[in-house]
Every structure is written in structure tokens, then in C-alpha cells.
Amino acid sequence: MRTSECDMVIVGVGGQGVILISDVIGRAAVLAGKPVCGAETHGMAQRGGSVINHTRIGCRFSPMVASGGADVLVALEPGEALRYAHFLSPAGVALVNTRPVLPTTVTAGLAEYPPLDEILAPIKAQCGRVTTIDAITLASRAGTAQAMNVVMLGALSRYIPLSEETILEALTQVVPPRFLEANKRAFALGKAEV
Amino acid sequence: MREYLLGNAAIARGLLEAGVGVVAGYPGTPSSEIIENIVDLKGEATLHVEWSVNEKVALEVAAGASWTGCRAAATMKHVGLNVAADPFMTLAYLGVGAGLVVISADDPYCHSSQNEQDSRRYCQFAAIPCLDPKNPGEAKEMAAYAFELSERFNIPVMLRPTTRVSHARSDVEVSDVRSVNRLGRFIKNPARRVALPVHARPLHSELLAKQAILEEALESAPWNRLVLRGKVGVIASGIAGLYAEEAIADLDEEISVLSLGTYPLPKKLIIRMLEHVSRVMVIEELEPVVEEQVQILARTVNPNIEILGKNGFIPREGELDFLLVRNAIARMMARPERATLASAASGILPARPPSLCPGCSHRATYYAMKKVFGKKAIYPSDIGCYTMAVNMGTVDTCLCMGASITLASGIRHGGEEEGICCSLGDSTFLHGGMTGLLNAAYNKARITVTILDNSTTAMTGHQPNPGTGMTATGESTVQVSLEDLAKALGAGLVETVDPYHLDETIESFARAKEHPGLSVIIARQPCVIKARKKGARPKSFRVNEDCVGCKNCVNFGCPAIEFDNDAAKINMLCTGCGVCAAICPANAILEAI
């Protein structure tokens, strides 16, 4: 039996803006009058480490999504998509930003970062659909590369039970006014990718 | 109105809506955002909020305020409660004025901690009631209720969120911050405020006598819920109750459920469950606090009942989750378990461990330290960002706040003849290192103490401390001099260096190494994250064609240095500290013009 209306896992590297996406979704769910919960990474792991955020719309239970249970995986970094692909349900969708952030193990020459194809293959085996997005290029086109996470939010908006209007209202609450227009453009460009 | 709130923000709301007058705490994951949210949300309210020097201090400040008739709270992480254990144990005897709430945030799985102790055990030990929330909404309600309970029974009350409550988010009902009238007066009453043996003995009897009426009052608390259905039952506490409810909904089984949120435990509810079922599973994170009570009660109520829990069903370490609890219940019901999928990343994807930031001055300090003291020297370290430098070979110990200095002393007194150079951050030094330094001086420990002064409490989110000249609310205050402190505590040689100036730092460490007594090096450079936020404009560096590919700079471990096509390369993450340029033997790293 389903215990949540929509489960998503948002992953990336500390500092990429994972929390902003979930904050917007959570606020939008509240605006829509839906129960919502989530869990996020703080503290030690944030220092350039791998971060995961769970968000569950229409849910009054655990703040974490179970492995094999996510309807959507949003990855701000391709390697992190693979690291957390086991959270995806077989019917789930993966939205993957294609630009890698090299871990220190790679920059120091201790390990190799695999090519994108090798990263995506196991994810494709895990779920029904994988959409790759060059989110940094799209965000730059929108006016600021910083809005990469909002491009991904735009793509995510296709798969969640919240209206675009509500999500944009929540985005307005979170983004500083001077960056709002660029962020709205980033959202639209992301949405157009799927 | 409902808002999407972080658990710690919900707790801050609960305290503010209950009219808290004084909040004191020491930062520690997962508790830090409580005070930060109090600062952000207090608005015009006249309450006093502070980052205290450590948790013992915070609890004592809160207790003093409570004794003036002002509602007060102290916040800390679970290991901070060890530091505050001394006042905690005796405050249970002395009681409160207005409500006193101790918030100790536990961290099952050690997401960001050195152990995973269970604060509920402390409450049992101290005979202090404990409220164990399952989500941010409950945490907020409990924070407010804790004051009432504390006042009604004249006893401090603990609120014990875990990481998955403090760092969970959910939609929470909020209302207005209650403005407080901080006109507290201390009323002298030696029999209740002076813990002389003659006073402590009757207060201990009073504390023990309180337990039964406390239990009676908590029996009907809304967070203890019994739903009797089938002859198999689940008793779950705190967040485990949420996992259990979801598991039972998912399995669609007729299972009786008792969710618990208060300690001392509601025995009547437990007895009703034990009388109803023939088999019961106790689900709780970490210690079998509930399970032990259930075992004891079952002996008289229903000796033949089968009790499942830490005996192979529910782990005593780490954190629980929905799937783990679902599978434990499925096993009990002889239903198939659902596979827990493992990450497909292993073997393909390189690890991404947290690491010191690009340009972090701790890396430079450790580089210089190791250059001078060598591989064989002993490097006791401490709790902070710098513990992540364990790969540099300059972190040989990490025990608890301030223990670098005292462990170093003990290692010397134990007979170790190698060089001993320990390190700890500015906030850690002020928290728990000062007494150790005084002890090292007094007892003639020949060691070098390095204070990694980045002028903030970085790991927990950049909280100010007495070395920064700023309070929790951003007001300017006295800025304590670490140099003067170190000298006053008895250090023989005290030198301050800028770790970005590598040669100077190496020379200073060399003098400390040769010093015949206790030496202190203060390595001062603001945290790079903070400096960037303050608008520091970095210089940029590049590698020219003189690079010989020796990898000295790569091995330094800065994420801004990459190795590509047999040569080093500096990437966008560079903060311009210039330390790699000083390390390069070929002088191939230059400031870009």
C-alpha cells in the first residue's frame, strides 16, 4: 500500500543547492494544503561531501524515502545520481545534471571519474526513464550559472503533484528578489527539457 | 498557519511560543539550528539568547535564569550532555523556578558525532522526565509542554530529538512569538538552592517520590497512543513509532500499536498492551530503554508473552528506518521481507568523502607542523573541521572536546619520547581546552599545543565564540585574546603565525619543538567560507610550463589542485591562499596577473 503521494530523492555535492529544491517543494506543498515531510544532510558531510535530501509529498510518516521507493531522483551531479540510484522505484524517473564535480580522490589522481555512459547505464537498468540535462549551460543562458538547481527544479515540476503556479510562488519566497527573474527563466528552461 | 519547518526551527518556535526568556547553548550537530532560529525569529521579544562557552556553562546559565522565575532552555548535542552532566544530575534534586528545559539532540548512526549515546539513559540516571518526539510537529508541541511539566513538578525536563527529527522538515502549525517580561528575581531559599548534604538527602527522597506522580501525569500525554487490534503488538518510541505506523500501513496487518513519547514510561498503557497481546515487538533506536521496562512489567502481567526486540530483530546500534522496521515486523508476521537495495556505485564510482575546503588554513598549518615534527611525532587532535585532516597524518587521536591537550600530556607522562604536537580549534580550546592547558603547564607536560584559530566555530555552521568579539545576536562584545589566555594559563612559549605564510609558520613550529617546556602556537587565519561570505576577493594562481609533475602540490590535498596530463592544474575552486606556490619545488605556481 502506498504511504505517500509522491516520493523524491534530491542528491548532489555539498554547496550545490540541494536544500533549496526541497525547501521550494515543501513550501509549495504547504501552499497547496498537502502534508509534506523530508530529511536533509547537515554538519560534517556538507564539506564537499555527498549530500542526499528526501522529500515526501502527501505523507505523514517517515521523513526518509525507502530504497526502491522514489518516484523521482533529482541529481545535481551525475556520479551522485549513481550513488543513490538504488532509491529509485522501478517505475521511477531519474533527472540527471550531466556536469561532474570531481571528488578530491579524483583531483589528487587516486581514482578515476567514470565516463557519463558508464554512470548512466546502471541507473537505466534501475528505472524506467533517465533524462539527462546540461543544467549549468541552461542556467547560464537564463542569466546565472548559480540557478543550476532551479533548472533541475523546473524539470522536476513535471513529475510532482503540485501546480507550476504554486511552485513559482514558493520559489519567490526563497530566492532573493534581484535573482528572481533569472531563476524563473531557469525554471522554464528546465521544464522544457522533459 | 502552517509552515514547512526544519525540526530545530520547530523547536525554536515551540520555545518562543511558550514565552522562553533565556536560551543558552553550545553548537553541535544536530542541535545547532535551535539557537540560530531563536535569533532569527525572536524579533522584538526581549529574551536573552547566547552561545555559551560550553554545555555545562549553558545549562548553569539556564538554571540560574529559571531560578529567577524566567522560563529557560539549554541546547546541546548528546555528547554535550556529558559535559553538562554535573549540573544536570544535581538540578534534578534542586528543581526549578520557572520551567527549565534541557534539549539534548541525539545522533544515532554518528552522522556527525564521535559516538551514538542515548540521552534517554541519562534521564533514567538523573530521574528527569524525557520527551522523545517523532517529527518536527511533535518536537514543537513538546518544547512548549516541557515548560508546563517542569513547573508543575519542579524538575528540569529533557527534550530529546534525534538527527531525523532535528534535521527533518515537515508542515508545522505556527502561531505568534510570546513576548516575555524578563523581570526575574532570585528568591533565596538555601534548602532548595544549596546542595549541602543536609539539604541533598531530603531532596533526593523528594525526587524519588516525584516519579510516580510524574508517570501518572504523563500517562495521558497525547504522544502516548494505544490502539488495540490483533493479538500481536508493536511498542515503539519516538521516531520508531512513525516507522512502525508506516510499516503496519504498508503491510496492512491488524497489529496493536503503542506509540510512546514520554519518560518515565506510561506503565498502565504498557500493561494494557501486554494483557491484550500474546506477542509483542519493542522498536526503539539505540538502547533497550523501553524493552527493559516491558520485560519487567511482563513478568507480573503476562509471563508467557513473547517479547521481540534487541534479541535479533532491532539493532542496538545505528539508526532505524522504515524498511528495517517493516522487515522486522514482516518477519514477526511470517510475511516476506522486502530487499534493501544496495548502492550500485561501488566499483564504478570514486568515494566523495567530506574534506577540508579549498584554501583552508588548517591544511597549511598541518603541512608546516608535519614538516617540523616529522612522521614519528605524535599528533593528538580534537573535535572540529580539522579532524578531516586525518589523511595528512597529523590527527592521531580524536576523543572529546579539548582532549587533544590532555591526551598529549598523558602520552608524554606515559613515557613517550617522540615529539608531541597536538591541535585544536579556537572554539574547542575555549570550550574544553583551557583547563587542559593549565594542567599541562602545572604538571610540566613538555608538549606543543597548536590552536587552529579560524575565528569561528566552523564545523557546526560558523557560530561566534568569545574569541570573535561577537555574541549570538551579532552584538559586539569583549574579544578574548588567545595569546593572553595561553600565557595566563602558564604556557612558556606563545607565538602567533599566519599559516598562509608557510616559512614563518615552519620557523615558529621549529622554535616550539626546541622549547624545553610547554609551547603554544596560535595559527590564525579566518575560515575561508566566512572570509568569502564577507566579500574577500581572492588572488588567482596558475601553473606554468615549469611544472615537473612531482605532485608535491597535489599531495598537499587541496581540492583546487588537479593533476592532468602529467602536470598540475589549478581549478575554479582556488581561493588564492598561495600556499601551494610556496610548496612547489620548481616555482611553477604563480599568481596570475
Taking only the tens place, the pLDDT of each residue in A55-101 is 999 999 999 999 999 999 999 999 999 999 999 999 999 999 999 99
On whether residue B352 sits in a domain, the answer given is no
C-beta of residue B553 within 8 angstroms of C-beta of residue B561: yes
User: Between B29, B321, B339, which is nearest A64 by CB?
Assistant: B321
On whether residue B477 sits in a domain, the answer given is yes
Instruction: Give SS3 for B54.
Output: coil
- Parallel, antiparallel or unpaired: strands A6-13 and A70-75: parallel
Same domain, B69 and B161: yes
Same domain, B41 and B92: yes
In degrees and rounded to multiples of 5, residue A52 shows phi and psi of -135, 140
Same domain, B184 and B101: yes
Q: Mean of the pLDDT values across residues B112-128?
A: 97
In chain A, residues with a C-beta closer than 8 Å to the C-beta of B459 are: 43-44, 47
% residues pLDDT > 90 (chain B): 90
Same domain, B519 and B545: no
**Residues in chain A, how many?**
194
Partner-chain contact A23 B135, CB within 8 Å: no
Partner-chain contact B357 A126, CB within 8 Å: no
Q: Is the pLDDT of residue A109 over 90?
A: no
Would you tell me how many other CB atoms lie within 10 Å of the CB of residue A37? 27
Amino acid occupying residue B24 = A
C-beta of residue B404 within 8 angstroms of C-beta of residue B422: yes
On whether residue A1 sits in a domain, the answer given is no
Range of weakest confidence among B104-108, B182-186, B276-280, B381-385:
B182-186
Q: Tell me which residue has cell 502534508.
A: A35
Query: What pLDDT is stored for residue A24 in this prediction?
Result: 98
Q: Mean of the pLDDT values across residues B332-354?
A: 89
CATH assignment of the domain containing B396: 3.40.50.970
The DSSP secondary structure of A11-56, one letter per residue, reads EEETTS-HHHHHHHHHHHHHHTT--EEEE---GGGGTT-EEEEEEE
B-contacting residues of A 9-48, CB under 8 Å? 13-14, 22-23, 26-27, 29-30, 35-48
Q: Mean of the pLDDT values across residues A133-144?
A: 96
Partner-chain contact B249 A105, CB within 8 Å: no
Give this complex's ipTM: 0.95
Domain enclosing residue A99, as ranges: 6-191
C-beta of residue B325 within 8 angstroms of C-beta of residue B283: yes
Q: Is the dihedral of CA B19, B80, B530, A141 positive or negative?
A: negative
% residues pLDDT > 70 (chain B): 100
- Which residue blocks in B188-311 are alpha helix, DSSP H? 190-193, 197-219, 239-251, 267-276, 289-301
CATH assignment of the domain containing A151: 3.40.920.10
Q: Mean of the pLDDT values across residues B71-89?
A: 98
Is the pTM above the cut of 0.90?
yes
Same domain, B397 and B454: yes
Domain enclosing residue B443, as ranges: 361-533
Q: Tell me which residue has cell 566555530.
A: B457
In angstroms, the CA B181 to CA B165 distance is 31
- In whole numbers, what is the pLDDT of chain B averaged over residues? 96
Query: What pLDDT is stored for residue B536 in this prediction?
Result: 76
Same domain, B9 and B86: yes
Nearest CA distance, B58 vs chain A (angstrom): 21
Q: Which of B219, B248, B275 is the last residue of a domain?
A: B219
Q: Is the pLDDT of residue A46 over 70?
A: no
Same domain, B520 and B559: no
C-beta of residue A131 within 8 angstroms of C-beta of residue A179: no
Nearest CA distance, B142 vs chain A (angstrom): 18
Burial of B265 (0-12, 13-18, 19+ CB in 10 A): buried
Nearest to A84 by CA among B351, B322, B108, B342: B342
User: What is the Cα Rg of chain A in Å?
Assistant: 16
Would you tell me how many other CB atoms lie within 10 Å of the CB of residue A91? 9
At residue A43 the predicted structure's pLDDT band, cuts being 50, 70 and 90, is low
Same domain, B84 and B185: yes
Q: What is the DSSP letter of B429?
A: I
Partner-chain contact A30 B4, CB within 8 Å: yes
In degrees and rounded to multiples of 5, residue B11 shows phi and psi of -65, -45
Range of weakest confidence among A25-29, B364-368, B414-418, B549-553:
B549-553
Burial of B217 (0-12, 13-18, 19+ CB in 10 A): middle
Nearest CA distance, B340 vs chain A (angstrom): 6
Nearest CA distance, B474 vs chain A (angstrom): 22
On whether residue A63 sits in a domain, the answer given is yes
Q: How many separate domains does chain A show?
A: 1
Angle in degrees, 0-180, between the axes of helices A148-156 and A18-31, rounded to the nearest 10: 40
What does the pLDDT look like over B189-210, one tens digit per residue?
Answer: 999 999 999 999 999 999 999 9
On whether residue B342 sits in a domain, the answer given is no
- The residues near A4 (Cβ < 8 Å, ≥ 6 apart) are A56, A57, A58, A59, A61
% residues pLDDT > 70 (chain A): 98
User: Between B326, B338, B559, which is nearest A104 by CB?
Assistant: B559
What does the pLDDT look like over B528-547, one tens digit per residue?
Answer: 988 888 877 778 899 999 99
In angstroms, the CA B90 to CA B155 distance is 11
Q: How many separate domains does chain B show?
A: 4
% residues pLDDT > 90 (chain A): 84
Same domain, B177 and B41: yes
Same domain, B375 and B442: yes
Query: What pLDDT is stored for residue B566 in this prediction?
Result: 87
On whether residue B439 sits in a domain, the answer given is yes
Q: Which of B533, B556, B582 is the last residue of a domain?
A: B533
In angstroms, the CA B147 to CA B332 distance is 40
Query: What pLDDT is stored for residue B221 in this prediction?
Result: 97
Distances (CA, A) of B574 to B157, B533, B559, B586, B592: 48, 15, 8, 20, 12
Q: Which of B290, B317, B332 is the last residue of a domain?
A: B332
Same domain, B167 and B274: no
- Which residue blocks in B384-527 are alpha helix, DSSP H? 403-413, 426-428, 434-442, 482-488, 502-514
On whether residue A86 sits in a domain, the answer given is yes
Q: Is the pLDDT of residue B279 over 80?
A: yes
